[in-house]
A and B are shown apart, each in its own frame.
Chain A
Amino acid sequence: MESLPETLPALPTVWFWAVAVLWIGYLFLEGFDLGVGMLMKLFARGEQERRVLLNTIGPVWDGNEVWLLTAGGATFAAFPHWYASLFSALYLPLTLTLVALIFRAVAFEYRGKIHSDRWRAGWDWAIALGSGVAAFCVGAMLALTTTGLPLDANGDRVGGPFAWLNGYAVLGGLAVVAFALVHGLAFMALKTDGDIRSRAHAAFVRWLPAGVLPLAAWAVAVQLGTGAWYSWALTAAAVVAAATAWALGRRGSEGRAFIAVALFLVAGAAGIFTAVFPVVLPSTIDPANSLTIANASSSDYTLGLMTVVALVGLPLVIAYQAWTYWVFRRRLTVGSIPTAHSVVPATVRRLVTGSPAGGS
């Protein structure tokens, strides 16, 4: 790895962290709704429980997903070369991500719209698989942008459509899937009551070590490559947070355990971003081809404009999204779910004679 430049450009540095914050925000928020999505198949027993799970994230999942769009859009605006190289190099996995996100989104809205078991079962698979595949692909993408892709001097992928596929991609994919699952369990323990709540909490405690392990491994792998003492410190803090979450979970503190798991994510991801800074996308062919905050960024004028917009916009987003969670803070149980109803045509059923049954 080349040594850091003497002076780092100020605004690209700011935007490196802004993009990092957006990705961490995405993993934190969509983390639990991707997890809940997968748990629709892995955890819920029966239709009523599935509906409880679904409705814990019902009002918020779409807002969570916009963090992904914003992370992508901000990368485009602030680091066009990063956006172009990363997204084109990962063409097929991102296509798969899109397919997963399309099915998942449509499934949330359409699942309850027709009163039929077959209809619902199909969409359940769309939610569970869509969540799992999206989590895996996003994790793979983030792992690869921190560990490198075979890029030529123009920033284009060298090798075939699968030149990106390596151990880091799999590790990153597993990291986000596993984290989302335990994060989702912690979220469900907070958002439900009764049997689901206690089962979710027990599963959370049982699976927590496995759930954090791949993400911790990815973080350590990055630290071994380019870590400094402070990024190692963040990684260590992440491990401490995970251990704390486990201890708190065993004592039955659902809220604090949830926060501790979130801190694990924040510290772990921050440690990864800190370690790779100022490189945004290393080239595994030649370090000279690596994209950095200096050679991948937009002009200071554009970054300045975006800084003003983000300083106004992002606090507002955080405020009204937090308020949404407050509005829908109540725990759900099987009893809170209204009965499903079928939709029948509003037409008068005709008698054998053909005369209208309704009317006068």
Chain B
Amino acid sequence: MDAVEIARWQFGVTTVYHFMMVPLTIGLGLVVAIMQTMWHRTGRAEYLRMTKFWGKLFLINFIMGVATGIVQEFQFGMAWSEYSRFVGDVFGAPLAMEALLAFFVESTFLGLWIFGWKQLRPGLHLAALWAAVLGSVVSAYFIIVANSWMQHPVGVTVVDGRPVMTDAWAVFTNNTALVAFPHTLMGALGVAGAFLLGIAWYHLWQRRHDGIDTVGEDGRVVVGEAPDVPGRDRTDHTVWLRSLRIGAVVAMISFAGTGITGDLQGKLMFEQQPMKMAAAEAACHDGTGFSVLSIGNVGARDCDDIVAVIELPGLLSFLAKGDFTTEVKGVNSLLDEYRGQYGASLPDNPRYGERAGSEVQYVPVMEVTYWGFRMMIGFGGLAALAAAVALYATRRGTVPRSRWLMRLAVVGILAPFGANAAGWIFTEMGRQPFVVAPNPAMAGSVDQVFMFTAAAVSPGVSSGEILTSLVVLTAIYAALMVVEVRLLVTYVRGGVASAMPGLAPAQHKDDDDASGGKPADDVLAFAY
């Protein structure tokens, strides 16, 4: 493997990993902020418990997002210095704004929230959480703006061969960003929804399994309590049932939302990167049919090997254009267009290294685009279906006793993570061979901007260096994933009492004491 391949693997590994934590941070953050708002308005114990419990899991996950996010900001310069030089005038600005306008808010106010249970008035404490959560939403916007410019460069003119920003408004209201941003937020909600649903299901199941909750003659739940187990009182049941229902509703909103925004995004992509969408369909020839199943040789980039097994006529046209008859261009005709416009081979330029003069692969890896697209939709749909089933199954106040159903609900937590990852892998690999995809609306213009990924890596950095960091970061990320999951599992098993040690056995008096046995005034409400 040469430096380009290794650097791409590194970017892929670190980014997909980082984007495990990000959607949970955004989605769960919003949910916890709403829970604390409900507590603030109603004063009801279950909302405080929900805030504390889900807030604890939120923090365990949040820090991993912080830690792996630093890598993201550094590696453009480290591994992709030619890219950084080429796009810096446009691309650096949203990154700097993300740090200045979002990360500062997120980190500072989250610190205030974690440690400020006593120091801040309740309203201010709640506002600190909202500020932190909105900070993470704003940060998503800026990074999507940066990414969307790679997908669809706008607002620039070319000076000395490099894009120079001339219209910030165009960059920050890039139509690609305006649909990708809500699509990403909706995807994040899906992660939070399934997370709530799976964990709450586990606790409702555990309560039944332990004989705390039973089901009466009429099929309705009879809520009990276990005085020996910290936190397992009647309120505890409300915590989990309400969490489950919130999670299910959030997951269904997410699926509807990702569907609507995804449709808009798809229609844009058919215009902006037709090859990506043709590859998403493995659609070789022009046509109107959406492939339900296509098969081909593994690794095939040659379209002739692919056979559409099941096709829905007209659906592809609907996805692309909103009608059932417009022919959508397939890979074969697009290939000729791309070769004509951007050259059949890479320029004979030393910056391309050994690849100089070699043929450009305009067709992305179709197994990835085809299946990535379907996994994104499939996993999302699965989570929404599970949510509907869960709402129905818990209509009488608890979950069935089946251990397998409980396990399914817990494993189902992974589905929206899979959908998010598949979506990003699809859209990023579908953009290849470009790191900055050409904007077809600019075709032929002197201000047409594009960059081949092969030209983007750091010329001065050896592949050995990049391989070193790839191996080191992957190993550390894998180890930390084990640690994070272990911690999450420990805190999930502990229930609300894991986040509120004040919930001592057979003690229901105070729900707002997290200091664990030392109620004195000078003891911190929370300490590391």
> Which residues of A approach B to under 8 Å, CB–CB?
51, 54-55, 58-63, 65-66, 68-70, 72-74, 76-81, 83-92, 94-95, 97-99, 101-103, 105-106, 108-114, 152, 154-158, 160-161, 298-299, 301-302, 305-306, 309-310, 313-314, 317, 320-321, 324, 327-328, 332, 335-341, 343-349, 355-360
Complex contact B96–A95 (CB within 8 A): no
Q: Which residue of A lies closest to B85 (CB)?
A: A84
Complex contact B104–A98 (CB within 8 A): no
Q: Which residue of B lies closest to A104 (CB)?
A: B67
Binds A, one of B39-47, B204-212, B298-306, B424-432: B204-212
Collect the chain A residues with CB atoms within 8 Å of residue B480's CB: 102, 106
Complex contact A306–B101 (CB within 8 A): no
Q: Which residue of B lies closest to A317 (CB)?
A: B104
Closest chain B CB from A113 CB (angstroms): 6
Number of inter-chain CB pairs below 8 Å: 335
Interface residue? B238 (CB, 8 A): no
Among A86, A158, A302, A305, the most chain B Cβ lie within 10 Å of the Cβ of: A302
- With A338-B527, A356-B211 known as contacts, the answer to whether A346 contacts B228 (CB < 8 A) is no
Collect the chain A residues with CB atoms within 8 Å of residue B524's CB: 55, 332, 336-338
Complex contact A336–B522 (CB within 8 A): yes
Q: Which residue of B lies closest to A304 (CB)?
A: B168
> Which of A59, A88, A102 is B461 in contact with, Cβ under 8 Å?
A88
- With A54-B528, A98-B74, A359-B212 known as contacts, the answer to whether A348 contacts B66 (CB < 8 A) is no
Closest chain A CB from B472 CB (angstroms): 6
- With A88-B461, A346-B493 known as contacts, the answer to whether A95 contacts B212 (CB < 8 A) is no
Complex contact A346–B495 (CB within 8 A): yes
Collect the chain B residues with CB atoms within 8 Å of residue A95's CB: 78, 465, 468-469, 472-473
Which residues of B372-429 have CB atoms within 8 Å of chain A's CB atoms?
Answer: none
Binds A, one of B87-95, B191-199, B310-318, B334-342: B87-95
Complex contact A58–B115 (CB within 8 A): yes
Closest chain A CB from B426 CB (angstroms): 27
> By DSSP majority rule, is chain A's interface helix, strand, loop, or mixed?
helix
Alpha-carbon distance between A63 and B166 when the two chains are bound, in angstroms: 33
- With A76-B76, A81-B85, A336-B523 known as contacts, the answer to whether A105 contacts B96 (CB < 8 A) is no
Closest chain B CB from A115 CB (angstroms): 10
> Which of A88, A111, A306 is B93 in contact with, Cβ under 8 Å?
A306
> Which residues of B approach A to under 8 Å, CB–CB?
59-60, 62-64, 66-71, 73-74, 76-79, 81-82, 84-85, 87-93, 95-101, 103-105, 107-112, 114-116, 119-120, 159, 164-166, 168, 203, 206, 210-212, 224-232, 458-462, 464-466, 468-469, 472-473, 476, 480, 483, 487, 490-491, 493-498, 501, 515-518, 522-528
Q: Which residue of A lies closest to B496 (CB)?
A: A346
Alpha-carbon distance between A51 and B523 when the two chains are bound, in angstroms: 13
Complex contact A73–B95 (CB within 8 A): yes
Complex contact B63–A358 (CB within 8 A): no
> Which of B66, B458, B497 is A156 in contact with, Cβ under 8 Å?
B458
Complex contact A63–B111 (CB within 8 A): yes
Complex contact A73–B73 (CB within 8 A): yes
Collect the chain B residues with CB atoms within 8 Å of residue A302's CB: 89-90, 92-93, 164-165
Q: Which residue of A lies closest to B62 (CB)?
A: A109
Q: Which residue of A lies closest to B93 (CB)?
A: A77
Known: A66-B108, A94-B74, A337-B524. 14 other contacts (CB 8 A): A66-B104, A80-B85, A84-B77, A87-B76, A97-B74, A99-B472, A106-B483, A154-B459, A156-B458, A338-B523, A346-B231, A348-B229, A349-B228, A358-B225
